[in-house]
Amino acid sequence: MYAIVGAAARSMASGRISHAWDLRGPCATVDAACSSGTLAVHLARQSLRTGECDTALAGGVSLVLGTDHTVGYSAAGMLSAAGRCRFADENADGFIRSDGAGVLVLKRLDQARADGDTIHAVILGSAQASKGRTAKAIIAPSAEGYLQVITRACANAGIAPEQVGYVEAHGNAAPTGDTIELQAIGTAIGTRRAQGQPCLVGSVKTNIGHPEAAGGLAGLIKTALVLRHRSVPASLHCSQPTSSVDWTGLGIAPVRDQLAWPHPGTAIAGVSTYGLSGIFVHILLGEPPLDS
């Protein structure tokens, strides 16, 4: 039992945290592959909205402690021979695995203000969706899945898709996957935006590799900082944007150099994740209130 409680059962991870901190609200270990962290945020937000809790901790963690998955990914040709996540690049050849851990403290906005908390960003809306059988393989993403979850998240937030100025993509540098995601972002958001104001797209995986279950949390934290500082960092290793995407026609643009938030009005951004199990999660963030 010591081995089961200590490490063997994933379900115990969240239970151990609640036990250590005497937390008495909802408690669950979420496993949706690379969408695990963002799905945890989505579920925590629902608990806050229904009053199940007043403060929520939502996190993701991934440690590469064994070789089984690495060997499998390598055999499938999913890992980068160049050792770089080259999201949206003509020569993208897969991802590299990395360790990662991240935790967010979430509260309802009125509660955070009353408590005098520093507010980094506001979650405007979120959605999860399975792609069903809209792709040839269970692990493959589909344009229909991305479009469905982006549309749901915008409806949940009560905003028009064209208000989204930046999307932190899943962007793990799988050439086909990148193309599908970029085309979906362009169709759902970019083509609706004003001419000359493309939706910017980037991926934190170009900076830190792919921390898998924690990847979405890394992207969400990055996006919150983008909105708080109104500054978008460069996505690395994109020397030649992929020719498989009609960037201008889709109204999207890669972020190849750091730039100040270029769009007028309130800054709104999306965080997109996809898990091998077929689960999409999209979270929409807005910049923090001026008084925070």
> Is residue 154 flagged as an active site residue?
no
Neighbours of 56 (CB within 10 A): 22
Q: List the beta strands (DSSP E) in 83-147.
A: 100-107, 122-130
Run of H or E residues at 222: helix 215-229
Report yes or no on 17 lying in a domain. Answer: no
pLDDT of residue 5: 77
Q: What is the DSSP letter of 137?
A: S
Helices (H), 158-212: 175-188, 205-208
Cβ count within 10 A of residue 68: 7
Q: Which domain holds residue 122?
A: 31-286
Closest CA to 255 of 236, 272, 283: 236
5 lies in some domain: no
The reply to whether 12 falls in a domain is: no
Choosing from 53, 85, 154, 170, which is the catalytic residue? Answer: 170
Domain CATH code at residue 207: 3.40.47.10
- The catalytic residue among 42, 120, 210, 263 is 210
- Establish whether 210 is a catalytic residue: yes
Count of the separate structural domains present in the chain: 1
pLDDT of residue 10: 83
What is the structure's pLDDT at 40?
98
| Inside any domain, residue 18 | no
**pLDDT value, residue 189:** 98
d(CA 84, CA 92): 8
The model carries a pTM of 0.95
d(CA 88, CA 253): 10
Which residues are CB-neighbours of 79 under 8 A, at least 6 positions away?
70, 73, 94, 95, 96, 97
Look at residue 15 and tell me if it is in a domain.
no
Catalytic annotation present for 85:
no
Residues 237/86, Cβ–Cβ less than 8 Å: yes
For each of the chain's 292 residues, which pLDDT tens digit applies? 878 777 778 888 899 899 999 999 999 999 999 999 999 999 999 999 999 999 999 999 999 999 999 999 999 999 999 999 999 999 999 999 999 999 999 999 999 999 999 999 999 999 999 999 999 899 999 999 999 999 999 999 999 999 999 999 999 999 999 999 999 999 999 999 999 999 999 999 999 999 999 999 999 999 999 999 999 999 999 999 999 999 999 999 999 999 999 999 999 999 999 999 999 999 999 999 987 7
Residue 3 maps to a domain: no
* 160: its two tokens: 């028009």
292 assigned to some structural domain? no
Residue 278 · residue 268 · CB < 8 Å: no
Enumerate the β-bridge partners of residue 105.
Answer: 57
